[in-house]
Chains A and B, each alone.
Chain A
Amino acid sequence: MAFQNQVLFAKDSVYVHINVQDTKDKDAHIAGRVFLLNKPEGYFIEWKAEDVLNLETTSEEWDVINYKNDREGDSVSMNAKMDARRKYNISFDILDLKSFKRSAPNHGWAYIIFILKDGTTFPALHFHNGGSKALLKELENFIYIRRSPNDPRLFLVKDHDPEQLSQSINELSLFTDSSGAYVQNFVNDSKHGLSKKFIKSPYTTTLGGFSKVTNFLRDVLMTPENSQNLVRPQSEVAELLQDDIPGMEISQLDEPGFEMITKTKLPPRPTVKRGDPLASPQWNSFFDAEGRISKVDELKDIIFRGGVDPALRSEVWKFLLGFYDWDSCSKKRTDQRKRKVDEYFRMKLQWKTISAEQEKRFTLLKERRGLIDKDVMRTDRTHKFFAGDKNPNLQVLYDILMTYCMYNFDLGYVQGMSDILSPILVVMENEVDAFWCFAGAMERVCHNFEMDQNGMKVQLSQIHKLMQIQDPELCAYLEAHDSGNFYFCFRWILIVFKREFHFHEIQRLWEVIWTDRPCSNFHLIISLAILESEKSTLLENKFGFTEILKHINDISLSIPLEETLRKAEGIFLQLRDYKKLPISLKEILGLLPPAHVPASQSMENSMFMGSTSNSSSSLQQEAGVKVDTPTLMAGGAGSGASSVKGVTRSGSGSDLTKGTVGAACSANVARSIGMSARYGGGARQSNGGGAGGNAGATCGMDDVHKVFT
């Protein structure tokens, strides 16, 4: 009782990695200390930034530890900075700890991610100077920790009321308590007769989908973790599971969580390698004498595999986002750009010239102005590009969003759009370029923002459908925990993972997605990949509806991008090669033969063979938007075909969409146009599969629905 807070463990050089301030930098790392404290109200793990600690040396809360005040803060900016730092404080009662995840052994330095019972997931604590093991050792004095049988990086904290568990275990006296949460699940459920439903010969493959369940159970029983306590020969396990299920009908309604009896056996997942970003010499080599990109497919493959060197982004993105046609030559791009500049300022003038008096009678515009005002104030303000109170870039952000309102008045401004614009503006550093690239990016996602939210619903249900095949266990679990609508992925989809990744990572992710490889719905597969990585955390912590949502919100900025991309591509390939893949899923994955998607004919030689057929194209066709030429991915004629004429649409597009001119100039000229013009111009705004002109935004959700379901 001598101390208010007794320090049981302390370790410095423990870092939290936060969002980058500069796109080119590595993550910013905040140095701090981690503590295990004995407080009057319990045992706590805490982490605080060094800056914060220095400031608090006098605070009564910290009377045990004495830090040197090695740096006197300059008082002016200090407060704001402290507030920013405090934001990362971590403090929790160890009784609230549910589990934690450690870094992979080969990871540069060890980190720990703590996860609480309510689903709170703290940012990873990186032990740059060791000490993670020591902390965990210390922790073990107070709580019982065991490793997950299914994920070697996941550790579960056993609840402090062991009675219930051991009791149920004793009932069956089959399992040891080290055999994992699943077992407890099974044990509990066995009271309700579920175990009766398990299978006779779990090792016969003829049972198809059932083997999945039994593997599941077998893994629990047979993991090395358990083997010291429980070495059961397979025969015995088989016997154990023998309690038979006459009808094999496991009803979804009776036993939520165990309807994973789907006859899925996906082919094994191929290993996937990622590549290097597209760099300058390589990029230049793609241009012919007229400044035309020669092998578009090959180029897109490279971008898909490794992204784009940040220095090239502002140029390459203009192609990816439809600012330039893939098959345009330099001359044409110059022309287009000019027109784009004019067009932009014409639209900008439209809202600029509405007087305050006039706006009083123009409620709709006033409302939109209000929304944009609010969001510009709070979009990526921690990023250098937008930081500071009088930052002029805020005005640019505002002007582009207002102009977009005029460009696509039917859609209006919806929260989340500023998130889409921000990384693009940072790359373009130019108002006009950023506007048209933003318009191109919006073309891909505008259905996310439609009034009836149907575009979102459709995509969330597509994730659901895909997961039913790809991971029936996880799918069943989510369904059983009221998460079958996948609304916990809402933010992911709405703004294409913008809030989930660090700034430089989102730029990488987006350029990969914009290649439409391996299909135009790759973002859905990315969702599957992330969820797969979180699967053991969700299941073994037995997270329910709220915890799932909270956990998924909290893992933002700690999702490993390249690993996720590899995983996602692997999943795609598995699904693609799965013989029994239902038609509806093939459609989602763009795997339907050309007959269904005529426009994709020229695409077959691409890396993913046929996969580039793009559901939004079928959308477009069904929606009755007139398309003059096979527009799907203007550059898609990569297999040497020079047939694609540049996208021209008559549909409801404005005349902007028509211009595709042909002429000659060098890559260098092209670049100089791209980079130097203060007000870039000359772009069509429709990208790959999108509809042209205003049509894209207004092709209603009904149309999407028609195609996607």
Chain B
Amino acid sequence: MASRGGPQRPNGASQGKICQFKLVLLGESAVGKSSLVLRFVKGQFHEYQESTIGAAFLTQTVCLDDTTVKFEIWDTAGQERYHSLAPMYYRGAQAAIVVYDITNPDTFGRAKTWVKELQRQASPNIVIALAGNKADLASKRMVEFDEAQAYAEENSLLFMETSAKTAMNVNDIFLAIAKKLPKSETSGTPQPRQGVRLNNEQGGQQSEGGCCK
């Protein structure tokens, strides 16, 4: 209970499918991207979470019925100045969480820009979720739930208000994404990189030996 608030790996029983998905977090600086990942992966929250420079990469595994879904999560730096790095990280992503801060309308505007960019530039079937974070700060709310939800519906996005601080809806949003992702035979990630050969071999071993044995 104490150390890992996030979803646990499966209980050793032999599982059916194993899927691996690349997920990227986007959104204005300080909306709580790193905090959401930290909550999801380690079950923790840091008031003074450092700003992200460059990008961070984390993994977390969730179980969905008889499928093991492994998220490869890319957490990016939010500031506009680093925008040009983002494509490197959302390229080939099957899912994205676009985050805004419900207490700051500018960040909602920025989120919309991200959604547009993803719709234009990312993989065509990418699953996009919109997260209105810092929902615990209800007294300072500046972006109405309904407004965001309407926008999400128009653009067929998953939508939830979240709080990395209280953990509200954090696991849920990742799970909702996992549900929506297409689960093919073994791995969801057709890694579009060079060196695939090596990676695939490795991945194969990993999933057999590592995850569900």
Stretch at the interface among B46-54, B146-154, B177-185: B46-54
Does B139 belong to the interface (CB within 8 Å)?
no
Q: Shortest Cβ distance from A73 into chain B, in angstroms?
A: 15
Provided the pairs A415-B51, A490-B53 are in contact, do residues A61 and B2 lie with their beta carbons within 8 angstroms?
yes
Choose among A61, A93, A118, A379 the residue that contacts B9 (Cβ–Cβ < 8 A). A93
Q: With a CB–CB cut-off of 8 A, which chain A residues contact B4?
A: 91
B59 and A118 contacting across the interface, CB-CB below 8 Å? yes
A268 at the interface (CB under 8 A from B): no
For residue A398, CB closer than 8 A to chain B, the reply is no
Which residues of chain A have C-beta atoms less than 8 A from B205's C-beta? Answer: 159-161, 164
**A487-B54, A487-B85, A494-B54 are known contacts. Are A161 and B1 too (CB-CB below 8 A)?**
no
Give every chain A residue within 8 A of B206 (Cβ-Cβ).
117, 159
B77 at the interface (CB under 8 A from A): yes
From A438-446, A504-512, A545-553, give the one contacting chain B: A545-553
In the bound complex, residues from chain B placing their C-beta under 8 Å from that of A378 are: 30, 48-51
Does any Cβ of A come within 8 Å of B88's Cβ?
Answer: yes
Name B77's contact: one of A89, A415, A488, A542 (CB within 8 Å).
A415
A482 to B89, CA, bound (A): 12
Would you call A86 an interface residue if the criterion is a C-beta within 8 Å of the partner chain's C-beta atoms? yes
A416 to B42, CA, bound (A): 25
Q: A481 vs B46: C-alpha distance in the bound complex, in angstroms?
A: 33
Stretch at the interface among A41-49, A347-355, A530-538: A41-49
A103 at the interface (CB under 8 A from B): no
A645 within 8 A of B: no
Is B72 on the interface with A (CB-CB < 8 A)?
Answer: yes
Chain A 377-392, CB-CB to B under 8 Å as 1, else 0, gives 1110110000000000
Min CB distance, A260 to chain B, in Å?
15
Contact of B82 among A89, A93, A415 (CB under 8 A): A415
Q: Which of A363-418 contact B (CB under 8 A)?
A: 370-371, 374-375, 377-379, 381-382, 414-416
A415-B82, A546-B57 known; A482+B195 contact, CB < 8 A: yes
A415 near B81 with CB under 8 A, answer: yes
**Residue A87 is within 8 A (CB to CB) of chain B in the complex:** yes
CB nearest neighbor in A for B199: A544
**B56 and A95: CB pair below 8 A?**
no
Residue A559 interfacial (CB < 8 Å): no
- Measured CB to CB, the nearest residue on chain B to A550 is B57
Q: Could you give 27 example pairs across A and B, Cβ below 8 Å?
A: A41-B10, A41-B11, A48-B3, A52-B2, A59-B1, A83-B44, A86-B3, A86-B44, A95-B210, A118-B57, A160-B208, A161-B208, A257-B198, A374-B30, A375-B51, A378-B48, A378-B49, A378-B51, A415-B51, A415-B77, A453-B81, A453-B85, A481-B195, A490-B53, A494-B53, A542-B198, A553-B56
Select A414's contact among B55, B81, B106, B199, beta carbons within 8 Å. Answer: B81
Question: 4 new A-B pairs (CB below 8 Å) besides A118-B72, A544-B195?
Answer: A93-B9, A415-B53, A480-B195, A546-B57
Measured in the bound complex, the distance between the Cα atoms of B198 and A480 in whole Å is 10
Q: Does B120 contact A (CB under 8 A)?
A: no
Cβ of B140 within 8 Å of any chain A Cβ, yes or no, is no
- A584 within 8 Å of B by Cβ? no
- What 9 A-B pairs come out closest when comparing CB atoms? A160-B209, A490-B54, A381-B48, A374-B30, A491-B53, A550-B57, A491-B54, A89-B3, A415-B79
> Is B209 a contact partner of A499 (Cβ separation < 8 A)?
no
Residue numbers in B under 8 Å from A453 (CB-CB):
81-82, 84-85
Is B163 located at the chain interface by the 8 A CB criterion? no
Interface string of B18-31 (1 = CB under 8 A from A): 00000000000110
* B198 cross-chain contacts in A, Cβ below 8 A: 185, 188, 257, 542, 544
Q: A495 on the interface (CB 8 Å rule)?
A: yes
Residue contact A499 to B53, C-beta cutoff 8 Å: yes
Q: Pick the contact of A482: B9, B10, B193, B210 (CB < 8 A).
A: B193
How many chain-A residues does the 8 Å CB contact rule pick out? Answer: 64
| Distance in Å: Cβ of B164 to nearest Cβ of chain A | 13
Bound together, the chains give a CA A550 to CA B54 distance in angstroms of 11
Residues in chain B near residue A89, CB distance under 8 A: 2-3, 42
Residues of A within 8 A of B155 (CB): none
A544–B193 touching, CB < 8 Å: yes
Contact B12 A42 (CB under 8 A): yes
Establish whether residues A41 and B12, one from each chain, have CB atoms under 8 Å apart when the complex forms: yes
Q: Give A161 to B202 CA distance when docked, in angstroms.
A: 10
**What is the 8 Å Cβ interface bit string for chain A, positions 273-290, against chain B (1 contact, 0 not)?**
000000000000000000
Contact of A87 among B2, B44, B56, B208 (CB under 8 A): B44
Tell me, yes or no, whether A342 is within 8 Å of chain B by CB.
Answer: no
Q: What is the 8 Å Cβ interface bit string for chain B, positions 59-100, against chain A (1 contact, 0 not)?
A: 100000000000010000101011011001000000000000
Structural contact, B79 and A549, CB atoms closer than 8 A? no
Contact with A along B174-213 (1 / 0, CB 8 A): 0000000000000000000111001101101110111101
The residue of chain B having its C-beta at the shortest distance from the C-beta of A553 within the complex is B56
The reply to whether B53 and A96 form a contact with Cβ atoms under 8 Å apart is: no
How far is it, in angstroms, between the C-alpha of A93 and the C-alpha of B206 when the chains are bound? 12
B8 at interface, CB cutoff 8 A = yes
- Asked whether any CB of chain B lies closer than 8 Å to the CB of A193, the reply is no
Q: Is the CB of A549 within 8 A of B81?
A: no
Contact of A60 among B1, B3, B210 (CB under 8 A): B1
Closest to B56 in A: A553
> How far apart are the CA atoms of A419 and B54 in the complex, in Å?
14
* Chain A residue contacts of B193, Cβ below 8 A: 481-482, 544-545
Q: Contact check, A449 vs B81: say whether CB atoms are below 8 A apart.
A: yes
Q: Which residues 411-440 of A sit at the B interface, judged by CB distance below 8 A? A: 414-416, 419
Report A-chain residues with C-beta under 8 Å of the C-beta of B50. Answer: 378-379, 499
Residues of B within 8 A of A495 (CB): 53
User: A40 — nearest CB in chain B belongs to which residue?
Assistant: B11
Query: In whole angstroms, what is the CA distance A618 to B133 when docked?
Result: 48
Chain B residues with CB under 8 Å of A60's CB are 1
Chain B contacts for A95, CB-based, 8 A: 209-211, 213
Residue of B with least CB distance to A477: B195
Q: Tell me, yes or no, whether A593 is within 8 Å of chain B by CB.
A: no
Give bound CA distance, A210 to B10, whole Å: 48
**A416 CA to B202 CA, complexed, in Å:** 36
Q: A598 to chain B: which residues have CB within 8 Å?
A: none
A86 to B39, CA, bound (A): 13
| Interface residue A119 (Cβ < 8 Å from any Cβ of B) | yes
Query: Whole-angstrom distance from the CB of A705 to the nearest CB of chain B?
Result: 15
Query: Smallest CB–CB gap between A55 and chain B, Å?
Result: 8
In the bound complex, CA of A371 to CA of B29 (Å):
8
With A59-B1, A164-B201 given, is the CB distance from A549 to B53 under 8 Å? no
Chain A: minimal CB distance from B204 (Å):
8
A56 within 8 A of B: yes
User: What's the Cα separation between A316 and B44 when bound, in Å?
Assistant: 41
How far apart sit A451 and B81, CA to CA, in the bound complex (Å)?
Answer: 6
Task: Tell me whether A371 and B210 are in contact (CB under 8 A).
Answer: no
Nearest CB in chain B to that of A412: its residue: B81
CB of A530, distance to nearest CB on chain B (Å): 15
Minimum CB–CB distance for A374 against chain B, Å: 4
A42 cross-chain contacts in B, Cβ below 8 A: 9, 12
Closest partner residue, chain A, to B9 (CB atom): A41
Known contacts: A46-B3, A89-B3, A414-B79. The answer to whether A188 contacts B201 by CB under 8 A is yes
Interface string of B124-159 (1 = CB under 8 A from A): 000000000000000000000000000000000000
* Most B CB within 10 A of own CB, among A119, A374, A375: A374
Measured between alpha carbons, how far is A549 from B82 in the docked complex, in Å? 17
- B46: which A residues are within 8 A, CB to CB? 83, 87
By beta carbon, the residue of chain A nearest B211 is: A95
A482 near B79 with CB under 8 A, answer: no
Bound form: Cα–Cα A415–B76 in Å: 13
**How far apart sit A495 and B88, CA to CA, in the bound complex (Å)?**
21
Instruction: Kindly list chain A residues whose C-beta atoms are within 8 Å of the C-beta of B47.
Output: 381
**A209 within 8 Å of B by Cβ?**
no
